[in-house]
Structure 1
């Protein structure tokens, strides 16, 4: 969830803040991501019983990591939905694989009397990832963007007054405030600088989320393995199958 929600936050900044899309336009890509899971859910349930949760988790986390890196390669000036469809679909498939397998992976390694504890622990850790993902990605991305903007402003050919205004806004509100502030003609001069700085910063945030997903894939491979055959999953046919969760507000 650190990787998934961190990437979702990164995507929302790309669409809503950097590209100035409306709330409805920003919501459409998330509809694509979340809309995939209900369509592939019957396949996910079959996979859970055939190959077990280990392989599904490794595949899901790997797909999420690849989706984050793919999104990073889409140029910031691409404002249409079509260039984003590839990473969005891959993100949705990876999310579906992980959600379908994560509870099964937890409850199938404890005695039946402890399945409730295992499921609750999974939810707790998942919520921790949901909290840390946007927080850490935002801290890394905005820190890098601020450093880049500080250097860019010095060589941007601004007057002393313009430089003072831009620096004051940057110091008070950060790079997002400088990108969205209404500063008249100065905003037009600053737009390429703030757009590039924010894009680079949040692209580095996507690297962080991809690393988190790769680490999760390695953990799943080491502790659960990638053995085919869903014996462990089929022993508890009822507990593992939960309804997919969407992105929490």
Structure 2
């Protein structure tokens, strides 16, 4: 291993630890904030399904596509500079989110914040590992870092719930942006904490390890563009359908770019990912479950956020409580999971965790979704037991998947294997809301078509008008009814319809609003039931696959002596 090199002027060891622990807590807080707020975003921004998916997913995309390169840049040019950059980007992203007037600005804010967090996660860990050379002391430091990461995941939904509850203006009319103003305070708090981190980082020690390190620019570019193209296609398909030309073109571009990435990685002497790792069947299986298992987790999280907060109109603080049950076990069970990984075969811990996540998915798929509790929908408290089961399963899997991965490779491959596993795991996190929303909204739209046609026909709307309204996604009828009416009025007037006829159709539409919104909610609820079921099936497959991974390898490092990346947990949320 190359030696870490402190910069001139030194720095405070204490400030380095404080900055690193604050950085990972902050990064996970900003990552997890949308989890409790997706319903609020849908109501305030009147966003489409694709817009809501971008808000939830673009943050993790920013983490995934560059995470392997940030470590190299820190080694080459100094980790302190990267930590300062990450804090600065987090400030910018949080302030922009707090001030966002429309969906597009919120998506941009999430993208900036995701890049900032993508820097903070690996660099904070590298900085404290660099000043802790003793393996046993380093193991304790890494465990503490992981604890602060989990703490950020617990703080986030509490912060979202409290600010929404305490700072919302009571008595505002529905549709008034002020009624949802409280959530913006949470992002201002995050920006303030990022400013504190910036000051702490100025006093931290710097370190670098440039020997033998080189940035793989062609590999990074093709990986980033390929993943972004594929994810863009999937998100766009939420509203436009998978047959849309732009969706097909983006999938083709993504496939070509990712194919080029594989070609580049197979020929470059210092690749981002050593493809030879996947010749190992056991490691390949672990890589697959890293993606599928974390997809299942985030798909359930995203579905719960939208179904409970957006469709059932549950207050934000209640959604925040549910997310505490999702994220809390990962923090509470840190010592338990650590003991299990050290004293039992990690693959059994992994299998048990995926089995619990599968049970949660199947349980939730049987809930009645899409209807507020006051009108007979599932009470929000009924979600607590299955979500606690999900959180416990996640606590068992999020750290142990890397422990299993490094047990399948030779000692000299441990660093690359753990970094690659982290990338695959984060890719699963990014895919959760993206694929989950594509499933939910496409199923919901197909189920909504028939009842919508019947309602519009019964309201006496002409066939041409009904045809135009049938192209509107069901979520728009729930979160943006004024926009639907305004758009319909404009199109009807532009077509030359007499004003009296337009007014009559608008009156009929407003009279049918309860029936239309009820059908839209029920259809989308069935869509999210499907996502829960898919998540349960995916987690089941993951649990079965881990049974084929061998136990602890004789070449694997003893507990407490892994590289920093190997022992690290990773972000989760949204």
Residues in 2 aligned to 1:197 and 1:145: alpha-carbon distance in whole angstroms: 5
CA RMSD of aligned residues (A): 2.5
- Superposed displacement of residue 136, structure 1: 1.6
Q: How many residues are paired up? A: 243
Matched, 1:111 2:410: yes
Q: Which of 1 and 2 has greater Rg?
A: 2
Q: 1:234 to 1:50 in 2, by over 3 A?
A: farther
**What TM-score results when the alignment is normalised by the length of structure 1?**
0.87
Measured against aligned partners, the alpha-carbon deviations of 1:139-187 in whole angstroms (never above 9, x if no partner) come to: 1221111111111123336323288666534514x11112223254332
The match for 1:26 is 319
Higher mean C-alpha displacement, 200-209 vs 162-171 = 162-171
Residues in 2 aligned to 1:138 and 1:41: alpha-carbon distance in whole angstroms: 31
Residues in 2 aligned to 1:131 and 1:160: alpha-carbon distance in whole angstroms: 44
Q: Is the 8 A contact 2:409 2:555 kept in 1?
A: no
* Matched ranges for 1:128-207 at <5 A: 128-156=427-455, 158-161=458-461, 168-172=468-472, 174-182=473-481, 184-207=510-533
Residues in 2 aligned to 1:223 and 1:15: alpha-carbon distance in whole angstroms: 37
- Superposed displacement of residue 244, structure 1: 6.0
* Matched ranges for 1:116-127 at <5 A: 116-127=415-426
The match for 1:65 is 358
92, 108, 116: which one aligns with 2:391:
92
Residues in 2 aligned to 1:91 and 1:51: alpha-carbon distance in whole angstroms: 21
Q: Is the 8 A contact 1:103 1:122 kept in 2?
A: yes
Measured against aligned partners, the alpha-carbon deviations of 1:90-121 in whole angstroms (never above 9, x if no partner) come to: 01100000013111011122222211101111
530, 533, 536: which one aligns with 1:210:
536
Residues in 1 aligned to 2:328 and 2:570: alpha-carbon distance in whole angstroms: 11
Q: Is the 8 A contact 2:474 2:520 kept in 1?
A: yes
Q: 1:224 to 1:211 in 2, by over 3 A?
A: farther
Q: 1:232 to 1:46 in 2, by over 3 A?
A: farther
Unaligned runs of 5+ residues in structure 1 are: none
Q: Is the 8 A contact 1:57 1:217 kept in 2?
A: yes
Q: 1:52 to 1:164 in 2, by over 3 A?
A: farther
The match for 1:236 is 559
